[in-house]
Amino acid sequence: MKVTYNWLKEFVNLTASPEEVAEKLTSAGMEVEEIIYQNKNLHDVVVGKILKIEKHPQADKLVVCQVDIGNSITQIITAATNVFEGAVVPVSLPGADLVNGIKIQKAKMRGVESCGMFCSGEELGIDENYFEGAGVNGILILPKDFKAGTPIEKALMLDDVIYDINITPNRADCMSVIGIAREVCAIYGLDMRKVNLSYDIDVYAKDTIHDYIKVNVNTPNCQRYMATAITNVKIERSPLWMRARLNAVGIKPICNLVDITNYVLVEMGQPLHAFDQSMIEGQEINVRQAKEGETIDALNHNTYTLDENTMVIADKCKPMVIAGVIGGTNSCINENTSKCVLESAIFDLKSIRLTSRKIGVRTDSSARYSKGVNVANAELGMGRALHLVTKLKCGKIVRGRIDIASVKNEARKIIVSAKLINDILGLQIKPQDMIRILNNLSIESTLAGDKITCIVPPYREDIENDYDIAEEVIRFYGYDVYDNIEYELFKNSKVSEGHHHPRLALERKFRNSLVDFGFYENISYTLVPSDSANKLLLNDNRKNLIRIANPISDEISCMRTSLAHSLLSNIAYNLSVGNKKMKIFECGREYIADSLPLEKLPAEKNMLALAICEDDKEHKNFFYMKGIIEMLLNKTSVEYTLVRSKEPYLHPGISADIIANGKVVGSFGQIHPIVAKNYDVPSYVVYGEIDDDYLSNLVEKQRAFKDISKYPIVERDLAIVVEEKVSAKEILDSIKSSCGKLCYKVELFDIYRNQDLKSQSKKSLAFNIKLSDLDKTLTDEEVNKITQKVLKALSYKFGAILR
Amino acid sequence: MISEQLETIKEQLLAEINGAERVNQIGQIRAKAFGKSGSISALSKGMRDLSPEERPKFGAMINELKKVIEESLSLKEGELEEIELKNKLESEQVDITEPSNIREIGALHPIADVIDRLTDICVDMGFSVVEGPEIESDYYNFEAMNIPKNHPSRDMQDTFFITDEILLRSHTSAVQAREMETRKPPFKIICPGKTYRNDSDATHSPIFHQIEGLVIDENISMADLKSMLTILMRRLYGNDTKIRFRPSFFPFTEPSIEVDVSCPSCHGKGCKICKGSGMLELLGAGIVNPKVLEMSGIDSKKYRGFAFGFGLDRTAMILNSINNIRNFYRNDIRFLEQMK
């Protein structure tokens, strides 16, 4: 919100510099986001009077002017055609740096010296609404009574300093000049000047407000409605000082009555509305909810069709205003207005918020109402507006006013504890200092023992208890008190034991291991495109993408149901920028809805997903992935088996599901060729994922030492030929069972397939068998016996033959 | 006669020993001397032809010869071994700049790394790490945080909604009420995690990360908040880090503050990163609003608390001099490999 330094000075006897005031406001919680100097591009521009105009000796289109600039006469050459002898104009002198980027210096034009330039309104940053003549195509011709030599910023009242302040939602009362002025008073301990609310009424006149308007409030969303009438209205430009203020805060001046409503809006934070009384049918104002289908042509040139959730100000027949948001063209002030009804109302913030959002219109008025305007403010705003009507002589104020209020709001008394305030702050502020600060804030406070009794003014709706008062105290006592004090940590509180999150702790083990194996950790958007489930061929509840109602774009419109989407997309991105080989992983969530639309919170499954993109032969990547998965699972106590995977996005022949406790707790394998195509990644990409929630809920790994033999291990290597369809695991299990308790370790150390074997769909497997007996050294004879047993079993079960 | 012969053998052997250049020649000389048909063995055999009186004398001479030769042999052997080892070490050399056959090392994501660091620091200070759902109810995200429906403070965050009552949490503060409902005070928790806002530019990502801290105990004050955050920021940004409080507003804390941290890049002197101010606005914090405590069933007369929260993307950007938040979510290997 914008307020100006000069405007604040109307209410506070400020002597501090604009910069200091900004700094103090910020440190009191009214963050000044920007200081704008109106005169930034107006230095070295003064009022000048053209004394004499002569033709340029060398150029037809130029004239040479002698110009009185106060303390001297200077020569200026111009091509402008609207200048004349005796004209008063803005003159930019050497050194000037205008808003459009033009820098002025002495120059010779066709051999004749020119010591400056006449300015148009545009070159001064103003338009026709602000100053008459500023909009013409040519030089701005100033009023005759402007004194030559006057700096233009003074002459045109463009010498203010504007603050753009970020008002926090709890301080709706500060969305006005007067609100900020109150804070400034509290900062400097100054008294606020009384707001002038006086106005003239013709006490002998017979007519009263009731001769002009009747008001019915038929909705609970209007908490107060005040109306007054003005007759003999004369619509004209408002005075320069008023236009200057409005212009400074970014509001376009229009005409006296409208400018008054806007002026009061900024100054007092009270939105007002002025009606042309002659256009109010039936001379009645009905504050009501709109009827379904009613329409209104609004001042922004749009037509809105309304429904019963929208509050309107209507006359007997039609809605005239979308209450608190925007006026209609059917009853607004115009150049022919002679009688006016002025509204100062309080509307429920929720109603205004809903309407403003629904029709997508945000005005200065709706901005105030949707933060909440205090019920008492309506009176202040009305009084100030009538004062300005009198001051600007824009009409006769009719006796009497209408004031319909359903909510009363008065000063509240609260009692707080000085000790509690200090306990909250961890400080020892003297209660007297607290009282002083609160009184400066117009919170009248008295101390009795530890108790502070506070009379909270109605506009401070945010203050309810000790904590709120503590905040007011420290805001003005100054947070810098904490800057240089070292406190003992948790001096008065209990020591507690900190715990890592079990899943995050397990994931950290996984993540660090993967990094050591060359994997890069990814973090991807959990919001994915709506076609991601289809691209992954998902067919179970992972097909139910949870959709955002108000997404930024389709690309990030749905919650992901598989991390495969993220990693495959990341691979595709990297390939597109020339990163060809990569190993990546991500710990993240999948959001699984049982049904849509969502009626309860969905499951959020924590998964670890990994992917390898590396050129491949012989399914090397599959087995590398398998090794990585085994390495990770080994960090947990999980007992699992592998079965062929049913994941739709994996190659059915080159993938596995990890089964633990009858449940799929992970999968891995080469991606399905169709999925590879959908994501534009090579088909040799392998992907894997494991269920971190399941794994982190398992008991810690238990270890129990078994005796090791003191006798040496005996080894035998065994190479056999079997059919391809026999799995390595089946053979390993058979060997182990044949060796019985003497088995120490069996390892498959070589797999061999030559042309000959391939043609028979056979393969050769070589095993290393380590045997050991706890009680003795095994003899050759014993070992041979076992080897025979192994072979016999393999031959019987699988038709294996020794190579 | 024999003694001459003995002298000749001795000289021959010593000459050969002297001339030896490789360790394996020593073995050959040894065989030549002491082998079955070696010269010294032959001398010993010749003893049989001597008279019994002469034998002891020559026996002693032969023994002496054996001793001399053996000593010379081992001496020479030692020398040669030393030379050969020296030569071997000199000739055997690898190019230490050739790459190792251990595969490339990867890297953690900088945001995940920051979460690891922060959780370690906070666990040290007695905090427990918790998590909450990212798809959250309006109640926990807003209402329980003293942000009623249609309240102006809802404007502070642009929220992604799924239904009227279900949304993507707009801050990790959403876990506060969940934890307060289930835990018995006193407790200290932190919650790192993903958060979502309908906002996207060079410094805002619609998906980002925050960490939330909450302490509930009987005598908690703003001074505890100051000391706790000072330790946290010092461990993160260095021991000379200073923090500064400024007033602010959050519906769930009262008083509410913004916390500025001295710029870790220029140590408060003013630089490009802090836009010359020497301070970075990094955290929001405050004393837990007693209304929030009461809504979650905690007796606000007995207990008080503080809460803090900050963005982890920003933290990771500062710690790693990353200029654009989008880098985090593209997962470009060329970005990630700089995070080793």
Question: Could you tell me which CATH number the domain at B110-339 has?
Answer: 3.30.930.10
CATH classification of the domain holding A761: 3.30.70.380
CB contact under 8 A, A546 and B328: no
B258, closest residue in chain A (CA to CA): A29
A29 touches chain B (CB under 8 A): yes
A225 with A327, same domain: the answer is: yes
Residue A666 is assigned to a structural domain of this protein: yes
A556 touches chain B (CB under 8 A): yes
Pick from A516, A784, A567, A542: which is nearest to A687 by CA?
A: A567
Instruction: Count structural domains, chain A.
Output: 6
Residue A565 is assigned to a structural domain of this protein: yes
pLDDT tens track for A412-453: 999 999 999 999 999 999 999 999 999 999 999 999 999 999
**How would DSSP label each residue in A150-206?**
-BHHHHTT---EEEEEE--TT-GGGSSHHHHHHHHHHHHTPPPPPP-----B-TT--
A246 with A277, same domain: the answer is: yes
Q: Which of residues 676-695 of A touch B (CB under 8 A)?
A: none
Last-in-domain residue among A371, A389, A405: A405
Q: Tell me if B224 sits within 8 A of A489, measured CB to CB.
A: yes
A565 with A644, same domain: the answer is: yes
CATH classification of the domain holding A72: 2.40.50.140
Find residue A227's DSSP bridge partners.
Answer: A343, A402
A566 with A647, same domain: the answer is: yes
ipTM surpasses 0.90 = no
A637 with A667, same domain: the answer is: yes
Angle at Cα A494 formed by Cα A490 and Cα A498, nearest 5°? Answer: 85
Query: Where in chain B are the domains?
Result: 2-91, 110-339
- For helices B222-237 and A418-425, the axis angle rounded to 10 degrees is 10
B332 touches chain A (CB under 8 A): yes
CA–CA gap between residue B263 and residue B243 (Å, rounded): 10
CB contact under 8 A, B332 and A584: no
A617 with A636, same domain: the answer is: yes
Q: What parts of chain A have a pLDDT lower than 70?
A: none
CA–CA gap between residue A212 and residue A204 (Å, rounded): 17
CB pairs A-B closer than 8 Å: 261
Q: Which of residues 206-225 of B touch A (CB under 8 A)?
A: 206-207, 215, 217-224
Q: Which of residues 599-618 of A touch B (CB under 8 A)?
A: 601-602, 604
A731 with A673, same domain: the answer is: no
Print the domain residue range for A180: 2-39+161-188
Residue A682 is assigned to a structural domain of this protein: yes
Residue A706 is assigned to a structural domain of this protein: no
What pLDDT, on the 0 to 100 scale, is given for residue B1? 62
CA distance A437 to chain B (A): 16
Q: Name residues whose C-beta falls within 8 Å of residue A169's C-beta, 6 or more positions apart in sequence.
A: A371, B151, B152, B153, B155, B156, B249, B251
**How would DSSP label each residue in A707-727?**
---SSPPEEEEEEEEEETTS-
CB contact under 8 A, B200 and A583: no
CATH classification of the domain holding A393: 3.50.40.10
List chain B pLDDT tens, one digit each, 340 residues.
Answer: 667 878 888 888 888 888 888 888 888 888 888 888 788 887 777 777 778 887 888 888 888 888 888 899 899 999 999 999 999 899 888 888 888 877 789 999 999 999 999 999 999 999 999 999 999 999 999 999 999 988 888 877 889 999 999 999 999 999 999 999 999 999 999 999 999 999 888 778 999 999 999 999 998 999 999 999 999 999 999 999 999 999 999 999 999 999 999 998 888 888 888 888 899 999 999 999 999 999 999 999 999 999 999 999 999 999 999 988 999 999 999 999 999 9
A262 with A145, same domain: the answer is: no
pLDDT tens track for A505-518: 999 999 999 999 99
Place of tokens 């007297």: A432
What pLDDT, on the 0 to 100 scale, is given for residue A484? 80
Residue A194 is assigned to a structural domain of this protein: no
Chain B environment of A519 (Cβ under 8 Å): 106
Chain B environment of A488 (Cβ under 8 Å): 227
B235 touches chain A (CB under 8 A): no
Determine the 3-state secondary structure of A225 from DSSP: strand
A250 with A374, same domain: the answer is: yes
A440 with A392, same domain: the answer is: no
